[in-house]
Structure 1
Amino acid sequence: MSGLKADTPVPTGVVVHALSRVLELQYADGRSFRVPFELMRVYSPSAEVQGHGPGQETLQTGKREVTITALEGVGNYALQPTFSDGHSTGLYSWDLLYDLATRQDELWADYFAKLKAAGVERDAPMPPPAAAHGHCH
């Protein structure tokens, strides 16, 4: 149970809805949430997205059409999805998934605010990683 808050509910069912591009999380108390793949991808917990410290996040764009092509369980505490853009390094703990599920409005607002602040469009293609990290200058 490492890394889980004691009160985080663990889903009793997880359904990938490829056509509507949402991950459905079903809980024992009868609640279910539909988390858009785009939201999951934009808030991926991976180092590639989050960076290695505060302020190092890489703003993700162009992920509206992204789908989940594979989904693996990691121990009893996380899911590791493979996204259609090749991203597969994010480990989504039950904490994170519950957070994404229950705070969607807030997280979308935050994402749109970041896009606006950066002056980029939601559907802009991501720059290639090499250019983004400035290794080529």
Structure 2
Amino acid sequence: MHQVSKLHYHRKQKLLDVQFADAVLAQFSAEFLRVMSPSAEVRGHGTPVLVANKRDVAISQILPVGQYAAKLIFDDGHNTGLYSWSYLRQLHEQKDTLWQDYLQRLKAANAVRDAKLEIRFHSGV
């Protein structure tokens, strides 16, 4: 079993560093982790659901789950996936293939990574 010794989220870049106990360092975008969520909502019951429009998603909270996983809470409200250390290692080892497959599935579905509606907040008068 692969143990994780450290999780570090870079809010501005929306990147999660995962340091494994065997000194392997993995880095994932919040978008990648969101669309590859291990939740039943995304993985479905046999057939994965295509998750689009998540380019700007961020991780708002990381909760430890025992000594084997982390629960990632995303700013789009998704909060049901448990990212086990072995699943994170699998994502790291297959990252390029999984990402290319995801992009091909988006294209085939005529879907996009960008949000359907751009919303911005302006702080000022």
Relative to the length of structure 1, the TM-score reads 0.78
Q: Structure 1 residue runs of 4+, over 6 Å off?
A: none
| Structure 2 residue 98 is the aligned partner of structure 1 residue 107 | yes
| Displacement of 1:114 | 0.8
Pairs within 5 Å for 1:1-137: 8-52=1-45, 54-55=46-47, 57-123=48-114, 125=116
Counterpart Cα distance in 1 of 2:40 and 2:2: 25
Partner of 1:129: none
Counterpart Cα distance in 2 of 1:59 and 1:65: 16
Q: Deviations over 1:80-118 (max 9, x none)?
A: 011010100011111111111222111110101111221
Match of 1:26, as an amino acid?
Q
Aligned residues of 2:56 and 2:114 also touching (Cα < 8 A):
no
Give the strand-richer structure, 1 or 2: 2
Percentage of matched positions with identical amino acids: 42
Runs of 5+ consecutive residues of structure 2 not aligned to the other structure: 117-125
Secondary structure, counterpart of 2:4 in structure 1: coil
Counterpart Cα distance in 1 of 2:105 and 2:74: 22
Counterpart Cα distance in 2 of 1:124 and 1:68: 16
Counterpart Cα distance in 1 of 2:24 and 2:82: 23
| Displacement of 1:124 | 5.0
State the aligned residue count.
117
Secondary structure, counterpart of 1:41 in structure 2: helix
24-33 or 93-102, larger mean C-alpha shift? 24-33
Aligned residues of 2:52 and 2:113 also touching (Cα < 8 A):
yes
Relative to the length of structure 2, the TM-score reads 0.85
Secondary structure, counterpart of 1:12 in structure 2: strand
| Displacement of 1:26 | 1.0
